[in-house]
Amino acid sequence: MSDMTANLTPTQREFRAAMANLSAGVTIVTTDGRHGRAGTTVTAVCSVTDTPPMMVVCINKSATSHDAFVANDTIGINVLGHEQQSVALVFANATDIPRERRFDDPRWDLHTFGVPVLSGAAASLVGRISSVSLQGSHSVLFVEIDEVATSADSGGLVYYQRAFHGVGPVPA
């Protein structure tokens, strides 16, 4: 048992194991503004409503980028395609690429939307935080979506059993 899980209750350990069985789409959530540019890999993202278009993004309060996300007020949600696992790993702190170089990849559009948007992502959504709710270890950000771009042929990337898995596009 790792040091991170040694102090968990049995219910917390069982909860984590159960959540490993919940397939989740992989996103890179980004921000930019007065409080700096930041990005992180997130699976705790979902749609809330289409009237108005709104999504929820959960960010761990201990993440180094947490304060920038909340303070900048504008969020980009980049839904990754099956060929973008390497980008997910960069923003999940699973590579040697330092934080200040994460956006050096030429696939990042750093200027068009005010936040970094990944070219070729399955979908990119940009919006403003309409409210923040603090829940346990995370901040739950409600993001009202202003801009949407999709790529129909990119497939998807999901996280299941603590690993990434590609999902192909469904034929029309």
Q: Which residue segments constitute the domains of the chain, with CATH numbers given?
A: 28-167 (2.30.110.10)
Q: What pLDDT sits at residue 171?
A: 62
Sign of CA dihedral 94, 136, 65, 45: positive
* Residues 170, 167: Cα–Cα separation, whole Å: 9
Shortest CA distance to 59 belongs to which of 94, 93, 30? 30
Q: What pLDDT sits at residue 172?
A: 59
Shortest CA distance to 66 belongs to which of 104, 31, 110? 31
Has residue 168 got a pLDDT over 90? no
This prediction's pTM: 0.91
| Each residue's pLDDT tens digit, 13-64 | 999 999 888 899 999 999 999 999 999 999 999 999 999 999 999 999 999 9
Query: Hunting for tokens 């790529």 — which residue is that?
Result: 151
Q: Kind of pairing, strands 138-150 and 156-160?
A: unpaired
